[in-house]
Chain A
Amino acid sequence: MSSLLKMNSLHKGTAKLHAWLLDRFALEPSTMVDASDNNQISASDTRAIENVTLQVGEQYPIDLSNIQIPGSRKGLTDYKDIGVLRLGLLNLDEFDDEFRSRFTYTKRDWGKAINDFRQDIIEYFEPITATSTAGAIYHSQDRSRYSENQLYPNMREYCKHGLDRRLCYLCRQERENSKYKPASTESISRFGFLKPYLYPPIDQSLPSTTLFIHGLYPYPYQWDGIRFLVHHEQALLADEMGLGKTIQAIVALRSRFRQAKSKRVLIVCPKSLLGTWKRELGLWAPELSVQTISGPVDERLHMWQSDVHVFLCSYETLRQDVGYVQSHPNWIDSIILDEVQRVKNPETLAHHAVLRVAAGCRWGLSGTPLENKIEDVEAVFGALGLRLVINDRYSWNTKEIREVISPVILRRRIADVEKQLPPKQAQEIWLELNPRQRATYLAEENSGVSSLQRPGATRIHVLALITKLKQICNYDPISNSSCKLDYLTEALDEVIELGQKALVFSHYPNVTLRAIQSKLTRYQPSIFDGSLTSDERDRIIYAFQNNATPKVLLMSVQAGGLGITLTRANHVFHYDHWWNPAVAKQAEGRAHRIGQSKTVFVHHLYVSNTIEERIYDLLVKKQNLFDAVIDSLSTDTIVGKLSDDDLFGLFGLQAPVTEKRTRKP
């Protein structure tokens, strides 16, 4: 539809005006007609305008002749050019839109609407004025709090108690006691949200310093994986365990943000990996803001409303909250399903929940081979928004399935890319305590801190409390739950499936290793600790090196840390850590030594928001202090370098003042 300009009579300037209109606005000549006879106005008309009518379709004729310009005796028709131009530019759609957006009149009120519109037209003669501005500063060092702490440990934020905010025991107590953990703290400002879009595009040729924190850079095969994901809206990255699927997905995600293809992303992973994902996002995509969804339902609802780039939740949480996600269409535009084999059963609620998230970009990550069972492939690819066309499912074999899925799956084996890998590849896994485990932990910590506040408390008491808490982080004997064990079980599944073997090191053979041994029976683990005789030790080592079982060796760091060769294993799990990292390195040396033909993958297990994280931070902070003594392997040397304030400070306490004895003259 186009506008219809009617003029009852035309003045002498019409020809000039007519030509000007046609030229400038490319108006169709047929849109300008003489109202008296509906004939097209020609450039040769010389009559004067007496009145001008805008006729919008058949319904809304508006007589503009008598509109008065405020402060003037002249009517609108005295400003013929402007009035006519205004009319000439309006088309029916614009007119209707403008009317409807400005006025909500019923048809009976058209008289008033027309008057308002006349007034509006007069106001249109105002010049365009400058608008206000808005914006934000993004300093280069304005990285996420995590990465900032990593890089500049001295630049911590201090709490109202004058202590490091992350370590302050009093602040943590307040957070625990408050009903709501304010999710809004994770939210970012309107312009903070824009930050990822203002970074340069991700390009391998750019200097690493423009993309990643110092010391981090993907391997060439990881760049291939990143490009594969970026170029596929639906895809499965199925690299073998240890090749860095998480990193590849994060960098690919970062690239999508920089292309403005993603605005809100949901990452679904096993609960035990939430902490690891959050840490890795902080390292590899510090400009993205992340909200982990967990806790009671009312708290989660609050968290979902956070204005962040990435939501992180477990499959269980998504199953419970999918209704909320589904009620906001087009809200989540990308979803990453870590350990996507978890939704291979199409009958499960988790599978249905994933399907209900209407995200266009869907990536799956899995180290477990899927192609052995057509139903599994079908279900997993269904969760990724891909449908396999299968005519006769019974005649399909693994090779055929591989061919069909090959365009949307990328799987590299360690052997394929080993030349690009260093001989030893270390990874930190940050876990969250299970709810019941946390209850035990907090009860023990509260009781311990109360004891430390009593007179006579010494650093020995602090060290004893630390040991107790670390053991609960390893395994809670009251609830028989352990987030580390949950993770270890899943990781060992993959290790065993790949035909590889693993060593699990702990400093607490009696309290920890024996507790978890009974839960790992399907891997037939042996315990290697100081209680073994020399013959027993030799027998276990021989069996591990030469036989199919045991596949897993649970080792005391003190007993297994030195002198033995266990090169049959290429996965090392540090279940807990002592003060001196050199002790862990010695333990890793059992697998990473002459005779080892594979890359050794070292997995450091830590629990976030516990004494383990506080010690980790303290050791980072004191790194320079330790460098001089780090090779001595002596725990006492390390602990000896820490002051009483350092140790009591782990619990937000001040060290008790000790009275110095004065010698009598």
Chain B
Amino acid sequence: MVNSADGRLVGFLGVYPTRDKRGFIGGLLVTDNMGKPEEFRVSLPIKPNMVQRTLYGESLIRHIGVNLCGQPLYNSLKTKNELILLLVENPEWLILAESITCLVAHVVKPGEKKGYVYLNDELTVNKLESPNTKEKSLYIQYPSSYFDDKQLVCHDIIGSFTEYMDLGEPFSRIEKALDVLSTENEQFT
């Protein structure tokens, strides 16, 4: 059977606190359809001060995820042309779809506040059967700008990637790798 994800790459974008908890580091992991790493990009730590945190308020995480990490990391990818899908850890970052060329989606984690996701009228959530996730089904959230046809394309691609990998799992790899990076390099602390 020909897998539509064969030879194509999927990206995972996550942003995590620095070790000193005063800032954030973004990481973008690109893998093949078997989950093997193909490229990894990180941002230098972003450390908003107290006033900045205050002024940005609730938009801070979105600003960091989209403007300060998502776009720069995506643009710095060497494998950008082979990337067909970018999965973002936070549904607020789905607006990246407006500024990058590949498809963007969010995999709803098992413990994620589903109420927040489902009740938001602007967001669409689709259910996908997935053999490689613990719960055997996967909830995918698309940007509000994706209409039915684009959602279908996205759905097929995600389905083909789930054949060999758990799409929620690579985020924990990014987190672990960033943790190792920050312990090994003061620049990333």
Contact = CB atoms under 8 A, between A and B. Distances in A.
Interface of A: 24, 82, 85-86, 89-90, 94, 121, 124-140, 190-191, 193-195, 197-201, 206-207, 209-210, 258-260, 263
Interface of B: 28-29, 32, 34-46, 48-57, 63-64, 67-68, 71-73, 76, 78-79, 164-165, 169-170, 173-174, 176-177, 179-181, 183-185
B180 A199 contact: no
Contacts of A206: 164
- Across the A-B interface, give the 9 residue pairs with the lowest CB-CB distance, nearest first: A135-B41, A260-B176, A198-B37, A131-B44, A200-B35, A89-B50, A124-B51, A197-B177, A133-B76
Contacts of B183: 263
A24 B29 CA distance: 34
A136 B39 contact: yes
Given A128-B63, A140-B36, A200-B173, A134 B54 contact: no
A137 B169 contact: no
A263 B43 contact: no
A2 to B, nearest CB: 14
A200 B40 CA distance: 14
B64 A128 contact: yes
Given A131-B46, A137-B78, A82 B51 contact: yes
8 contacts: A85-B50, A130-B67, A133-B72, A133-B76, A137-B78, A190-B185, A193-B180, A198-B173
A503 B64 CA distance: 67
A640 B154 CA distance: 59
A259 B174 CA distance: 11
Contacts, number: 130
A128 B39 contact: no
B40 A86 contact: no
Nearest to B37: A198
Contact of A137 (B38, B164, B165): B38
A24 B55 CA distance: 12
Contacts of B176: 197, 259-260
B34 A210 contact: yes
Contacts of B38: 137-140
Contacts of A132: 43-44, 72
A207 B35 CA distance: 11
A206 B173 CA distance: 17
A132 B79 CA distance: 18
B50 A124 contact: yes
A80 to B, nearest CB: 14
A198 B29 contact: yes
B44 A190 contact: no
B184 A128 contact: no
B47 to A, nearest CB: 9
Nearest to A85: B54
B40 A136 contact: yes
Given A85-B51, A124-B52, A207-B34, A194 B181 contact: yes
Contacts of A197: 173, 176-177, 180
A127 B67 CA distance: 12
A135 B40 contact: yes
A263 B177 CA distance: 11
A131 B68 contact: yes
Contacts of B53: 89
Given A190-B185, A195-B37, A200-B35, A133 B42 contact: yes
Contacts of A138: 36-40
B179 A260 contact: yes
A490 to B, nearest CB: 37
A90 B41 contact: no
A24 B68 CA distance: 24
A130 B68 contact: yes
A124 B179 CA distance: 27
Given A128-B64, A134-B41, 19 more contacts: A85-B50, A90-B50, A124-B49, A128-B46, A128-B48, A130-B71, A130-B72, A131-B46, A133-B42, A133-B44, A135-B28, A135-B41, A136-B40, A194-B177, A197-B173, A199-B173, A200-B170, A259-B176, A263-B183
A404 B51 CA distance: 60
B40 A133 contact: no
Contact of A260 (B37, B50, B170, B180): B180
A351 B43 CA distance: 45
A89 B48 CA distance: 13
Residue among A86, A130, A201, A209 having the largest count of chain B Cβ atoms under 10 Å? A130
Given A86-B51, A138-B40, A190 B46 contact: no
Contacts of B164: 206-207, 210
B169 A200 contact: yes
Contacts of B68: 128-131
A209 B52 CA distance: 48
Given A133-B72, A199-B173, A127 B50 contact: no
A194 B170 CA distance: 14
Given A197-B176, A200-B165, A209 B34 contact: yes
Contact of B79 (A82, A125, A137): A137
Given A127-B52, A133-B73, A210 B41 contact: no
Nearest to A131: B44
Nearest to A205: B132
Contacts of B37: 138, 195, 198-199
Nearest to A123: B49
Nearest to B48: A128
A134 B39 CA distance: 11
B43 A194 contact: no
B7 to A, nearest CB: 11
Contacts of A207: 34, 164
Contact of B43 (A94, A127, A133): A133
A208 B54 CA distance: 50
A35 B79 CA distance: 60
Contacts of B170: 200
Nearest to B49: A124
Contacts of A90: 50
A195 B34 CA distance: 15
A140 B37 CA distance: 7
